Amino acid sequence: MQENQTEQNLDTETRIRQQIAENPVLLYMKGSPKLPSCGFSAQASQALMACGKPFAYVDILQNPDIRAELPKIANWPTFPQLWVNGELIGGCDIILEMFQQGELQPLIAEASPEVDEKESN
Protein backbone atom coordinates (compact mmCIF):
# COMPACT_ATOMS: atom_id res chain seq x y z
CA MET A 1 0.00 0.00 0.00
CA GLN A 2 2.83 2.39 0.89
CA GLU A 3 4.42 1.83 -2.54
CA ASN A 4 1.23 2.71 -4.41
CA GLN A 5 0.94 5.99 -2.53
CA THR A 6 4.51 6.92 -3.48
CA GLU A 7 3.88 5.90 -7.08
CA GLN A 8 0.73 8.02 -7.23
CA ASN A 9 2.61 11.02 -5.79
CA LEU A 10 5.29 10.54 -8.43
CA ASP A 11 2.67 10.54 -11.18
CA THR A 12 1.12 13.71 -9.78
CA GLU A 13 4.53 15.37 -9.49
CA THR A 14 5.33 14.36 -13.08
CA ARG A 15 1.98 15.82 -14.22
CA ILE A 16 2.60 19.08 -12.35
CA ARG A 17 6.14 19.44 -13.74
CA GLN A 18 4.79 18.72 -17.23
CA GLN A 19 2.05 21.37 -16.87
CA ILE A 20 4.60 23.93 -15.68
CA ALA A 21 6.97 23.04 -18.54
CA GLU A 22 4.28 23.14 -21.26
CA ASN A 23 2.56 26.38 -20.22
CA PRO A 24 4.67 29.56 -20.22
CA VAL A 25 2.06 31.31 -18.05
CA LEU A 26 0.20 29.02 -15.66
CA LEU A 27 -2.06 29.84 -12.71
CA TYR A 28 -2.94 27.18 -10.17
CA MET A 29 -6.17 28.48 -8.65
CA LYS A 30 -9.45 27.60 -6.99
CA GLY A 31 -12.08 27.56 -9.72
CA SER A 32 -11.55 29.13 -13.14
CA PRO A 33 -10.80 32.70 -14.26
CA LYS A 34 -14.45 33.18 -15.27
CA LEU A 35 -15.80 31.41 -12.17
CA PRO A 36 -13.24 31.69 -9.36
CA SER A 37 -14.04 29.88 -6.11
CA CYS A 38 -12.12 32.19 -3.78
CA GLY A 39 -11.39 35.89 -3.56
CA PHE A 40 -7.63 35.48 -3.88
CA SER A 41 -7.96 33.38 -7.03
CA ALA A 42 -10.44 35.94 -8.41
CA GLN A 43 -8.03 38.85 -7.84
CA ALA A 44 -5.05 36.95 -9.24
CA SER A 45 -6.87 35.86 -12.40
CA GLN A 46 -8.29 39.37 -12.93
CA ALA A 47 -4.78 40.86 -12.79
CA LEU A 48 -3.59 38.24 -15.29
CA MET A 49 -6.55 38.83 -17.62
CA ALA A 50 -5.86 42.57 -17.45
CA CYS A 51 -2.41 41.84 -18.93
CA GLY A 52 -4.29 40.95 -22.13
CA LYS A 53 -2.42 37.75 -22.94
CA PRO A 54 -3.62 34.16 -22.86
CA PHE A 55 -2.67 32.05 -19.85
CA ALA A 56 -3.33 28.50 -18.74
CA TYR A 57 -4.88 27.59 -15.42
CA VAL A 58 -5.49 24.48 -13.34
CA ASP A 59 -8.48 24.30 -11.00
CA ILE A 60 -7.02 22.67 -7.90
CA LEU A 61 -10.51 22.00 -6.54
CA GLN A 62 -11.03 19.59 -9.46
CA ASN A 63 -7.55 18.13 -8.93
CA PRO A 64 -7.14 17.28 -5.22
CA ASP A 65 -3.95 15.34 -5.94
CA ILE A 66 -2.34 18.47 -7.42
CA ARG A 67 -3.71 20.54 -4.55
CA ALA A 68 -1.96 18.19 -2.12
CA GLU A 69 1.36 17.84 -3.98
CA LEU A 70 2.04 21.28 -5.48
CA PRO A 71 2.79 23.08 -2.19
CA LYS A 72 5.54 20.48 -1.49
CA ILE A 73 7.06 20.87 -4.97
CA ALA A 74 6.76 24.67 -5.01
CA ASN A 75 7.68 25.10 -1.35
CA TRP A 76 4.75 27.55 -1.32
CA PRO A 77 1.81 26.60 0.94
CA THR A 78 -1.09 28.58 -0.52
CA PHE A 79 -3.10 29.10 -3.71
CA PRO A 80 -3.28 30.72 -6.18
CA GLN A 81 0.22 30.13 -7.52
CA LEU A 82 1.48 31.85 -10.65
CA TRP A 83 4.20 30.15 -12.68
CA VAL A 84 5.93 31.95 -15.56
CA ASN A 85 8.46 30.13 -17.75
CA GLY A 86 8.78 27.34 -15.20
CA GLU A 87 9.41 29.64 -12.26
CA LEU A 88 7.11 30.28 -9.33
CA ILE A 89 6.31 33.99 -9.25
CA GLY A 90 4.12 33.84 -6.14
CA GLY A 91 0.60 34.11 -4.83
CA CYS A 92 -2.17 36.69 -4.86
CA ASP A 93 -0.36 39.45 -2.93
CA ILE A 94 2.75 39.23 -5.09
CA ILE A 95 0.71 39.07 -8.32
CA LEU A 96 -1.33 42.16 -7.36
CA GLU A 97 1.73 44.09 -6.17
CA MET A 98 3.59 43.32 -9.40
CA PHE A 99 0.52 44.31 -11.43
CA GLN A 100 0.17 47.63 -9.58
CA GLN A 101 3.91 48.35 -9.98
CA GLY A 102 3.64 47.61 -13.71
CA GLU A 103 6.02 44.63 -13.41
CA LEU A 104 3.55 41.83 -14.20
CA GLN A 105 2.46 43.09 -17.64
CA PRO A 106 5.90 42.95 -19.34
CA LEU A 107 6.66 39.61 -17.65
CA ILE A 108 3.44 38.08 -19.03
CA ALA A 109 3.85 39.74 -22.44
CA GLU A 110 7.38 38.37 -22.75
CA ALA A 111 6.39 34.85 -21.67
CA SER A 112 3.17 34.71 -23.66
CA PRO A 113 3.15 32.29 -26.61
CA GLU A 114 1.59 34.96 -28.87
CA VAL A 115 4.89 36.66 -29.64
CA ASP A 116 4.90 39.01 -32.60
CA GLU A 117 7.74 37.80 -34.87
CA LYS A 118 8.30 41.27 -36.40
CA GLU A 119 9.32 42.69 -33.04
CA SER A 120 12.20 40.29 -32.39
CA ASN A 121 15.53 42.09 -32.07
- Binding site residue list for glutathione: 30, 67, 79, 92-93
* Angstrom distance (rounded) from CA 117 to CA 62: 36
What DSSP designation does 42 have? H
DSSP 78-113: SS-EEEETTEEEE-HHHHHHHHHHT-HHHHHHHHSS
Look up residue 20 and give its DSSP letter. H
- Report CA-CA distances (Å) from 61 to 58, 65, 69, 82: 9, 9, 13, 16
Binding residues: 30, 38, 67, 79, 92-93
Q: Which residues are annotated as a binding site for [2Fe-2S] cluster?
A: 38
